Chain A
Amino acid sequence: MAIDPSKIKRYSHGSRVPGWDEAADLSKDPSVVPDPATTYVPDHVREAIETLMAKYPDVRSAAIPAMFIVQREHGWLSPTAMEQAACVLRLTPAYMVSVASFYDMFELTPKGKHDVYVCTNISCSLLGADGVYARMKDEMEGDPDFNVRAFECLGACDIAPMASVDGVYVGPLTEDDCAQIKADIKEGREVLPDKQLAKRKAASKHWNR
């Protein structure tokens, strides 16, 4: 979702407050683990995170998978989402944000529901990915349902230029496919069924030689 730059709050020294401008209470001590008595956590979220915590020798390891869970629940890593994850993990929200800000797949600002990642790395751009990305942005710009991003190599250079649409890899794309992708998502259909990577055979078979 596009954000109006003039509405982004900044500290006095000029750094922006990442995604926490509206709801975060900056007067609160960042080193406080949220109090389970006063923090509401939905039962299924708590259960999912606790299952994760049991898998690892150290609960911190569950921080990244737990953030995926709350991100799915809330749509983005909102302050509430972080507080819920932190509450179950017994970590501070500040720690969670410090980790989340490192990784590309965590969104600290509100985003559209459907992720469309267009690969614009070397192999894809050699075959016209920049054009596909521009077209995709034109197509979906301003629609709050979509989160279009240029992504670094998604590991599917055999179908370059490609995109990951809600985790489904499709390619090779032409610029005209962008409208089709949008329509498929809007109507809840499978995205470009003929171009899905999961259905492709090994290269020596695929090319039929």
Chain B
Amino acid sequence: MPANIDTILFKDIDEPGLNTREVYERRGGYEMLRKALKMEPSAVLDEMLASGVRGRGGAGFAMGRKMSFIPKGTMDKYLVCNADESEPGTFKDRELMQKNPHLLIEGIIIGAYCIGASKSFIFIRGEYDYVADILDAAVAEARAAGYLGENILGSDHTIDLVVHRGAGAYICGEETALLDSLEGKRGNPRLKPPFPAVQGLYQGPTLINNVETLMNVPVILNMGGAEYAKIGTETSTGTKMISISGQIKYPGNYEIELGMKTRDILFDLGGGPLEGRTFKAWFPGGSSSPVMPLTEEVLEMPYDFDSIAKAGSMLGSGAIIVFDDSTSIVDVCYKTAHFYRHESCGKCSPCREGCNWTEKMLVRIKNGDATPMDLDIIESVCNQIMGNCLCVLGDAMAMPVSSMIKHFRPEFEAYIEAKREEAGFGVAIPQTNRGAHAGPGPLLQPAQAA
């Protein structure tokens, strides 16, 4: 196992009682808050800008820049921590919040001080009930110690923090849908612009950041932004929590330095494939990132925001899902499409209808009722979803599905033919036409074929 893992956020994460204020303070907790309160908010912001830390939630937008978009002034501003971690394959925030809730609270207070927000929220998904209880207890402890509430630590700043439980909707992880949900509505995304930084929660400027990003705030302040930027690669600074899952020996959360080689992640950390199998492909950043076959070239690729983007996928939330040769790509594709069909909020037609059609076509493929031409239709549906909706949920279905078809087309075609045989339909496309996609010949009824 490589030496440089679990160095910052995950360092001593299993220390008994780390979730209590006493132990957290003994380990130097809330010192950075005291330091921040002695600094000007703009000086705190400068440290964040210097660190170059990018959002850990999925989009990878520079956190310091996002903070700098919040207007100055005395209006009601809000800070919302996005803990609605619902992306399949992602489970880093759950472990971080469960084991070290005070680090998150400290990060939120410093962030709120930096942008001048007096009210902050943690929007946690409803399924994480036991984690929310831990957060509630930690917030109560912080309030009792004077870190939260009016005039924190004797300064003239007032910061309040509310832990808000969601009720089970993937879309609420999208920032504007999250705001709608927090306002007590159905979680529908909003039109952007105006961006939340200008007009967000209750129409006020709002900063929304992921749990892991906010937890990095005290760390950056401690190290100094310039020092933090030395970790990782030039454009992907810092450490990243990665969640490895799927058909791999040692699944779990690991903290790595960005830029680590994919091979080291999958074989040294993950322990390689299960007994007697070989890796087939992976989702590099959650189920919404395009799938990549695990070729030698991919295994040599450094794991950071830019290298993966260059290779045609995305780092997203750092959730690695691996599957091996025992798994049919069609099943993975169907599960993905089914999930997004279920979670589409229904506001924009391309996503609402497109996800539905895609799932139906995949069911048809599984039932042996499809022809290879359906793959082209799926691709064209996916193309028409991408970029045509208010949020990226539709794209999140279209990207993995079309990438799977792109990389594994022969497997899809073989699957379709095999299932047609099984169901008693004839060969879909005569061998001479294969690849030309001239369309299926007259369909045989099962009775006739038999």
Residues of A near any B CB (own CB < 8 A): 55-65, 67-68, 98-99, 102-106, 117, 120-123, 125-127, 151-158, 160, 164, 167-169, 198, 201-207, 209
Knowing A168-B130, A202-B10, A209-B1, the reply to whether A122 touches B88 (Cβ < 8 A) is: yes
Taking a contact as CB atoms under 8 Å apart, the answer to whether B1 and A204 are in contact is yes
Taking a contact as CB atoms under 8 Å apart, the answer to whether A158 and B243 are in contact is yes
Convert B10-35 into 0s and 1s, putting 1 for each residue whose CB lies closer than 8 angstroms to a CB of A.
Answer: 10011000000000000000000000
Min Cβ gap A177→B in Å is 18
Taking a contact as CB atoms under 8 Å apart, the answer to whether A102 and B169 are in contact is yes
Q: Give chain A residues whose Cβ lies under 8 Å from the Cβ of B10.
A: 202, 204
Q: Give the docked Cα–Cα distance between A149 and B175 (Å).
A: 27
18 A-B pairs, CB-CB below 8 angstroms?
A61-B184, A64-B166, A103-B168, A103-B169, A105-B167, A106-B167, A122-B88, A123-B89, A123-B321, A126-B246, A126-B247, A126-B321, A153-B170, A155-B127, A167-B130, A201-B14, A202-B6, A204-B252
Within 8 A of A (CB), among B53-90: 76, 85-90
Flag whether B227 is at the interface (Cβ < 8 A): no
Q: Give the docked Cα–Cα distance between A102 and B252 (Å).
A: 31
Taking a contact as CB atoms under 8 Å apart, the answer to whether B253 and A158 are in contact is yes
Taking a contact as CB atoms under 8 Å apart, the answer to whether A122 and B183 are in contact is no
Taking a contact as CB atoms under 8 Å apart, the answer to whether B88 and A203 are in contact is no
Question: In the complex, which of the residues B88, B164, B332 contacts A153, with contact meaning CB atoms closer than 8 Å?
Answer: B88
Min Cβ gap B229→A in Å is 25
Flag whether B267 is at the interface (Cβ < 8 A): no
Q: Give chain B residues whose Cβ lies under 8 Å from the Cβ of A67.
A: 167
Which partner residue on chain A sits nearest B119 by CB separation?
A57
Flag whether B289 is at the interface (Cβ < 8 A): no
Question: In the complex, which of the residues B5, B91, B162 contacts A155, with contact meaning CB atoms closer than 8 Å?
Answer: B91
Knowing A61-B164, A105-B168, the reply to whether A158 touches B254 (Cβ < 8 A) is: no
Taking a contact as CB atoms under 8 Å apart, the answer to whether B251 and A157 are in contact is yes
Min Cβ gap A109→B in Å is 16
Taking a contact as CB atoms under 8 Å apart, the answer to whether B91 and A158 are in contact is yes
Knowing A203-B253, A204-B6, the reply to whether A63 touches B88 (Cβ < 8 A) is: no
Taking a contact as CB atoms under 8 Å apart, the answer to whether A155 and B125 are in contact is yes
Flag whether B407 is at the interface (Cβ < 8 A): no
Flag whether B126 is at the interface (Cβ < 8 A): yes
Which partner residue on chain A sits nearest B254 by CB separation?
A203
Residues of B near any A CB (own CB < 8 A): 1, 5-6, 10, 13-14, 76, 85-91, 93-95, 98-99, 119, 125-130, 162, 164-170, 181-187, 202, 243-247, 250-254, 269, 271, 283, 287, 319, 321, 323, 327, 331-332, 335-336, 339, 342-343, 345
Which partner residue on chain A sits nearest B287 by CB separation?
A122
Min Cβ gap B390→A in Å is 16
Which partner residue on chain A sits nearest B332 by CB separation?
A122
Q: Give chain B residues whose Cβ lies under 8 Å from the Cβ of A68.
A: 126, 165, 167
Q: Give chain B residues whose Cβ lies under 8 Å from the Cβ of A126.
A: 246-247, 321, 323, 327, 332
Knowing A55-B162, A157-B321, A158-B253, the reply to whether A64 touches B339 (Cβ < 8 A) is: no
Min Cβ gap B19→A in Å is 11
Nearest 3 pairs between A and B by C-beta?
A203-B252, A157-B245, A104-B168
Taking a contact as CB atoms under 8 Å apart, the answer to whether B321 and A122 are in contact is yes
Taking a contact as CB atoms under 8 Å apart, the answer to whether A127 and B168 are in contact is no
Knowing A117-B127, A122-B336, A152-B343, the reply to whether A202 touches B186 (Cβ < 8 A) is: no
Q: Give the docked Cα–Cα distance between A121 and B334 (Å).
A: 10
Min Cβ gap A27→B in Å is 26
Min Cβ gap B55→A in Å is 18
Taking a contact as CB atoms under 8 Å apart, the answer to whether B130 and A64 are in contact is no
Which partner residue on chain B sits nearest A196 by CB separation?
B130
Taking a contact as CB atoms under 8 Å apart, the answer to whether B169 and A155 are in contact is no
Q: Give chain A residues whose Cβ lies under 8 Å from the Cβ of B186.
A: 98-99, 102
Min Cβ gap B154→A in Å is 25
Question: In the complex, which of the residues B86, B162, B185 contacts A99, with contact meaning CB atoms closer than 8 Å?
Answer: B185
Q: Give the docked Cα–Cα distance between A198 and B1 (Å).
A: 24
Knowing A121-B339, A153-B87, the reply to whether A158 touches B252 (Cβ < 8 A) is: yes
Q: Give chain A residues whose Cβ lies under 8 Å from the Cβ of B162.
A: 55-56
Knowing A117-B127, A157-B91, the reply to whether A102 touches B335 (Cβ < 8 A) is: no
Which partner residue on chain B sits nearest A204 by CB separation?
B6
Q: Give the docked Cα–Cα distance between A177 and B335 (Å).
A: 24
Interface centre among B91, B126, B246 (most CB of A within 10 A): B91
Q: Give the docked Cα–Cα distance between A67 and B10 (Å).
A: 36
Interface centre among A60, A67, A123 (most CB of B within 10 A): A123
Taking a contact as CB atoms under 8 Å apart, the answer to whether B184 and A153 are in contact is no
